[in-house]
Amino acid sequence: MLETLRPDPTFHPSARLAMEAEAEHIAYTVLLSPDQSRPDALVTVDVDPTSKTYGTVLHRLDMPHRGDEFHHFGWNACSSALSPLSGHPFLQRRYLIIPGIRSSRIYIVDTQPNPREPRLIKTIEPEEVFRKTGYSRPHTVHCGPEGIYISTLGGAGKDGTEGPPGVFILDCETFEIRGRWEIERGPQKLHYDFWWNLPRDYMVSSEWGLPPQFENGLVAQDLLAGKYGHSVHFWDLRDRKHVQAIDLGANHQMALEVRPAHDPVREYGFLGVVVDTTNLEGSIWTWYRENGQFHIRKTATIPPEPADAAQLPALLKGFGAVPPLISDIDLSLDDRFLYVACWGTGELRQYDVTDPMKPALAGSVRIGGIVQQAGHPNGKPFGGGPQMTEVSRDGKRVYFTNSLYSSWDAQFYPDGVPGAQVMCNVGANGGIELDPAFHIDFGPDYAAHQIRLQGGDCSTDSFCYPSA
Partner 1 sequence: MGWPLAVANGMAQQRASAVFSTLLPLGGGHFMAMAVVLVPFAWLNWYVEWSRAIRLGAGVLVLLFGIFKLIARRHPRALARIRPTQLAWWSFLMATAHGAGLMLVPFMLGLCVAAPAPMDAFAAATARGVGHVSVMNYLAQSSVATAVVVAVVHTLAMMLAGLTMAWAVYRYLGLRFLRRAWLNLDGVWGWSLVIAGAAGIGMAW
Nearer to partner 1, 3 or 308 (CB): 3
DSSP 383-411: -S---SEEE-TTSSEEEEE----HHHHHH
Among 23, 54, 60, 86, interactor with partner 1 by CB under 8 A: 86
Q: What DSSP designation does 287 have?
A: E
* DSSP characters over 57-73: EEEEEE-SSS---B---
Displacement of CA 338 from its chain's centroid (Å): 14
**Among the listed residues 62, 110, 128, 146, the single contact to partner 1 using CB under 8 A:** 146
Q: Is residue 201 near partner 1 by the rule CB under 8 A?
A: yes
* Of 4-12, 35-43, 64-72, 278-286: span binding partner 1 (CB under 8 A): 4-12
- By the 10 Å C-beta count (0-12 exposed, 13-18 middle, 19+ buried), 309 is classed as exposed
Q: Does 84 bind partner 1 (CB under 8 A)?
A: yes
Per CB under 8 A, the list member of 34, 118, 138, 145 interacting with partner 1 is 145
37, 50, 52, 87: which one contacts partner 1 (CB under 8 A)?
87
Report the alpha-carbon distance of residue 151 to residue 166 in Å, rounded: 6
468 part of the interface to partner 1, by CB under 8 A: yes
The one-letter code for the residue type at 284 is I
Least Cα distance to 445 among 408, 411, 420 occurs for 420
Beta-carbon contacts of 125 under 8 Å, excluding residues fewer than 6 positions away, are 105
Q: Which stretch binds partner 1 (CB under 8 A): 141-149, 225-233, 277-285, 336-344?
A: 141-149
User: What distance in Å separates the CA atoms of residue 296 and residue 178, rounded to the nearest whole number?
Assistant: 33
x/- site string to partner 1, residues 10 to 49, per CB under 8 A? -xxxx--x--------------------------------
What mask of x and - would describe binding to partner 1 in positions 222 to 251, judged by CB under 8 A? ----------------xx------------
Minimal distance, residue 390 CB to partner 1, in Å: 24
**Contact between 261 and partner 1 (CB under 8 A)?**
no
Is residue 200 part of the contact set for partner 1 (CB under 8 A)? yes
Selected range binding partner 1 among 86-94, 114-122, 188-196, 210-218, rule: CB under 8 A = 86-94
Residue among 135 and 181 whose Cβ is closer to partner 1: 181
Among 118, 138, 147, 165, binds partner 1 (CB under 8 A): 147
Contacts with 457 (C-beta within 8 Å, 6 or more apart), sequence order: 24, 390, 391, 392, 393, 451
Burial class (CB in 10 A: 0-12, 13-18, 19+), 303: middle
What are the DSSP E strand ranges found in 47-146?
57-62, 74-75, 95-99, 106-110, 119-124, 136-144
Choices 95-103, 197-205, 393-401, 438-446; region in contact with partner 1 by CB under 8 A:
197-205
Report the distance separating Cα 371 and Cα 312, nearest Å.
7
Q: Which stretch binds partner 1 (CB under 8 A): 124-132, 196-204, 343-351, 398-406?
A: 196-204
Residues that bind partner 1 (CB under 8 A): 3-7, 9, 11-14, 17, 82, 84-90, 145-147, 173, 178, 198-201, 238-239, 264-265, 464-466, 468
